[in-house]
Amino acid sequence: MQWIELKQWLELSTGLDRDSLHIYAGVGVQLIAALFCRRSLGSSIPWLLVGVVALINEYSDYSNFPEASHVRQEFYDEAIRDIWNTLLLPSALLLIARFWPRWLTGKTGINQNSDKSNECMPLT
């Protein structure tokens, strides 16, 4: 089964449109990359891997696209939309995890007034 056939099968079997699948794939790739790379979502490495996967996917689509010049502009517009959909939520998760991690965890972090700021806090 080729990549394009797998994508069509996913679209038909899930009932989701291609834009939704790009959104889910972007978040899924970011979470899996963070897990396997042992990085937080605040690290740029999982986000970069989402970008690489999105570009590889668009290159695959480009390779299977007809050569007609009037259709070429439609492909570019669709490719930009696909990359946008794939990277939007991973970008938001990256920014939130990096700059506002409390939004994700609800934890306040290390007590700033403590003299023992280099020690681990107890888990109680």
Check residue 117 and give its pLDDT.
47
Check residue 63 and give its pLDDT.
80
Check residue 116 and give its pLDDT.
47
Report pTM.
Answer: 0.77
Residues of the chain with pLDDT under 50: 111-112, 114-121, 123-124
Check residue 119 and give its pLDDT.
47
DSSP codes of every residue in 27-71: HHHHHHHHHHHT--TTSHHHHHHHHHHHHHHHHHHHHTS---HHH
